[in-house]
Structure 1
């Protein structure tokens, strides 16, 4: 969808929220499930703050696999969607990183498939996340462009960069995260440094963008730098404004899923943009 954002500023929107789980992470989940089945597993464990858990629960249900999603205690996603889809939901004290660590432990203990983005099926995760680049390339062609993407643990950006290089497509990647709440944002453009685990602040709007240690952080920063892009911050108010802007085009996107647009709008108000950027919208409200 091509829309006018501001006077003289147009952008392509790639809505990746249309999957049953409402998350762009569903292709990655299906890729992991296919590998888990091939390896003879009947259960997949993942840690998630919401969207990957919903995607994995959906993929496992369709394939007939059992699924356990470990979520941070007290965060906004109650795990209701994953449970309704047939998954077991457990809660771990702490944040997203603690949920992932607990799911690693449980998968190892059960001899089950570890479907985490930093687990043994990482290549499958990256292949699934990269499919959006192939779809965009087929639709828009190889002209140089910029892509604006929400950034949490950085895995999506790493995957998209890998596919861009494979296709020879010159596209500058712009990651947009929560100010002060993600080490990709706070470290850019310097050396990657994790944040203190108690330094991040989650809200109902920014949770998927919050990490104290982004699992693919250093690789994501290297990918962004190699592409000629940059990292940007978007406040909760800017996330909500971007969501409202999308609603006027009949798109129901979560505030965090609209982070790419929030970063683009902030940048467009401060400096001239060249070409027609692509904004990847990553999720519906749960």
Structure 2
């Protein structure tokens, strides 16, 4: 079954990892992998009548629709202002956009037949992996840092996954998972290192393109911690542009919490990679509080090549943006409002955006973390 899978390769040194391998990183530099895969999207007209899930974009996905699908994808787009709309990705089976990538990881794991699946997460990715592993009948362990939202822990456990709460921060949980990932027979469902995850998140943009009648907004505003949604978006934009299905590429605008903003700091320094050390700090946007994102070089390059920029938001801006969205009928978790905090009036992106069209993702449901309150 693995014969039809594309190989992986290291974007830094070119080392190849053959299809069917349980290797989760480059064996030379231990960095994340990319997929040797360049699909051609279907035309807009040919999508009519297809299944109403992300699997309607079959030509662009490296795996066929699996039995473990939960109908993920096809989330609605609603206007927020005259030129800014929101894509409601919290309306997913596990209430976050991470389902787009997690279903790909579960489908791949089903093909490879590991003894067990592991993941690490600050909550949403772990929940999504746990849910799809449950659907696929795969044993799963999720490593989370202490301090993870109790609601997210409850959700992960409800899906039958084993929870391993690691003392320390998000990086400590990732290190524990990476150690376990080197054991024989383990499939590491890493939303950071495994490129199949990115080929799931790219469907966010394919859906936008279809729903907007074969075009994209002038700006895509995306939250960035490990950068999985932004890098997926960059993949989809490249696919659509190469196929001649869009005549221009939208600018990618990346948003980080001011409290933990290593990529924004590198951007301001004009660097191609991270500069210095970024200490971990408390923030309402816990889901994007990543001091050392493994794909930093790729994220910075994608934003730069698109003509976009990096932006940061304060804790007060996050809190007010969450309240503002709730007053509009949209109850979104505090991480998921970061892009609206940057884009709405008073945000750092608002002046440069002007009247250009833009879409922000609302990535996770408010029920996962509750309302952000003044500390």
Q: Could you tell me which runs of 5 or more consecutive residues in structure 2 were left unpaired when the two chains were aligned.
A: 1-76, 369-375
Structure 2 residue 300 is the aligned partner of structure 1 residue 221 = yes
**Does structure 1 retain, via aligned residues, the 8 Å contact 2:101–2:191?**
no
The CA deviation string for residues 85-143 of structure 1, in whole angstroms up to 9 with x for no partner, is 11111022222122112112113225210111343xx2211111101110000011225
| Structure with higher strand content | 1
Secondary structure of residue in 1 paired with 2:348: helix
TM-score by length of 2: 0.70
Query: Which residue of the partner structure matches residue 172 of structure 1?
Result: 251
* Partner Cα distance (2:100, 2:168) in 1: 28
Query: Which residue of the partner structure matches residue 63 of structure 1?
Result: 136
Secondary structure of residue in 1 paired with 2:203: helix
| Structure with higher helix content | 1
**Which of 126, 138, 150 is equivalent to 2:198?**
126
Residues 94/154 of structure 1: CA separation in 2 closer, same or farther (3 Å cut): same
Q: Could you tell me which runs of 5 or more consecutive residues in structure 1 were left unpaired when the two chains were aligned.
A: none
* Partner Cα distance (2:130, 2:95) in 1: 12
Residues 175/126 of structure 1: CA separation in 2 closer, same or farther (3 Å cut): same
Query: Which residue of the partner structure matches residue 260 of structure 1?
Result: 339
Residues 110/95 of structure 1: CA separation in 2 closer, same or farther (3 Å cut): farther
**Which of 74, 79, 85 is equivalent to 1:12?**
85
Structure 2 residue 292 is the aligned partner of structure 1 residue 185 = no
Query: Which residue of the partner structure matches residue 161 of structure 2?
Result: 87
- Look at both structures and tell me which one has the larger radius of gyration over its CA atoms: 2
Query: Which residue of the partner structure matches residue 102 of structure 2?
Result: 29
Aligned-CA RMSD value: 1.9
The CA deviation string for residues 7-59 of structure 1, in whole angstroms up to 9 with x for no partner, is xx531110101112111011200101111110112421111011100111111
User: What is the CA distance between 1:144 and its match in structure 2?
Assistant: 5.1
* Partner Cα distance (2:184, 2:153) in 1: 21
Residues 195/107 of structure 1: CA separation in 2 closer, same or farther (3 Å cut): same
**Does structure 2 retain, via aligned residues, the 8 Å contact 1:158–1:216?**
no
* Partner Cα distance (1:267, 1:23) in 2: 25
Query: Which residue of the partner structure matches residue 282 of structure 2?
Result: 202
Structure 2 residue 211 is the aligned partner of structure 1 residue 139 = yes
Secondary structure of residue in 1 paired with 2:202: helix
* Partner Cα distance (1:58, 1:144) in 2: 32
User: How many matched pairs?
Assistant: 279
Query: Which residue of the partner structure matches residue 232 of structure 2?
Result: 159
